[in-house]
Structure 1
Amino acid sequence: MRAITDSATMLRRQLRHMMRHPSLILTFAGVPVVFLLLFVYVFGGTMGAGLGGDRTAYAGYLTPGLMVTTIASAAQGTAIAVASDMAEGIIARFKTMAIARVSVLTGHVLGAMAQTFVAIAVVTVTALLIGFRPAASALGWLGVAGVLAMFIFAVTWLSVALALVSKSVTTASNLPMPLMVLPFLGSGFVPAESMPPGLRWFAEHQPFTPVIESLRALLAGRPPGTALVEAAAWSAGIALTGYLWARRLYNR
Structure 2
Amino acid sequence: MNTIKQLSTLTSRIVKQNLTSSDTIITTVLTPIFMLLFFVYVMGDSILVHGVSTGRSAYLAYALPGFLLMAMAMGSAYTALRINNDKVKGFMTRLLSMPTKRWVILGAHILASTIFMLISVITVLITGIILGYRPQASLTDLGLFLLLIVVFAIVITVVAIPFSLTAKDFNGAGSFSYLLIFLLFISPAFIPVAGMAKPIRFFAENQPMTPIVATTKALLNGSFTFSANSTLLSIGWLLGLLLVFSYFSFKRYQQVFVNI
Match of 2:250 in 1: 247
Structure 2: where are the runs of 5+ without partners?
A: 256-260
Identity score, percent: 26
1:226 is matched with 229
Runs of 4+ in 1 over 6 A off after TM superposition: none
Q: How does 1:69-84 map to 2 (within 5 A)?
A: 69-84=70-85
Distance apart, 1:172 and its partner CA: 0.8
Q: What is the match of residue 40 of structure 1?
A: 40
Distance 1:251 1:213, change over 3 A: same
**What are the superposed Cα offsets for residues 173-225 of structure 1, whole Å, 9 maximum, x if unpaired?**
32322211111101111112222221111111111111110111111111242
1:74: Cα distance to partner? 0.5
Amino acid at match of 1:142: G
- Quote the residue 2:66 is aligned against: 65
Task: Report the RMSD for the aligned CA atoms in angstroms.
Answer: 1.9
TM-score (normalizing by structure 2): 0.90
Cα distance change, pair 51–245 in 1 and its aligned pair in 2 (3 A): farther
Does the Cα contact within 8 Å between 1:68 and 1:208 map onto a contact in 2?
no
Contact 2:160 2:174 in 1 (8 A): no
| Alpha carbons 2:163, 2:174 under 8 Å: kept | no
- SS of residue matched to 1:45: coil
| SS of equivalent residue, structure 2 residue 126 | helix
Give matches, 1:139-154, under 5 Å: 139-154=140-155
Could you say what secondary structure the match of 1:182 adopts? helix
The aligned amino acid for 1:143 is L
Partner of 1:15: 15
The equivalent residue for 1:176 is 177
Q: What's the secondary structure of 2:65's corresponding residue?
A: helix
Gaps of 5+ in 1: none
Q: Secondary structure at the match of 2:46?
A: helix
CA contact (8 A) 2:3 2:101 kept: yes
* Structure 1 residue 10: Cα displacement: 2.5
Deviation at 1:52, TM superposition (A): 5.5
| Whole-angstrom distance in 2 between the partners of 1:229 and 1:6 | 37
Conserved? CA contact 2:70–2:184, under 8 Å: yes
Relative to structure 1, is the Cα distance of residues 147 and 14 closer, same or farther in structure 2, using a 3 angstrom cutoff? same
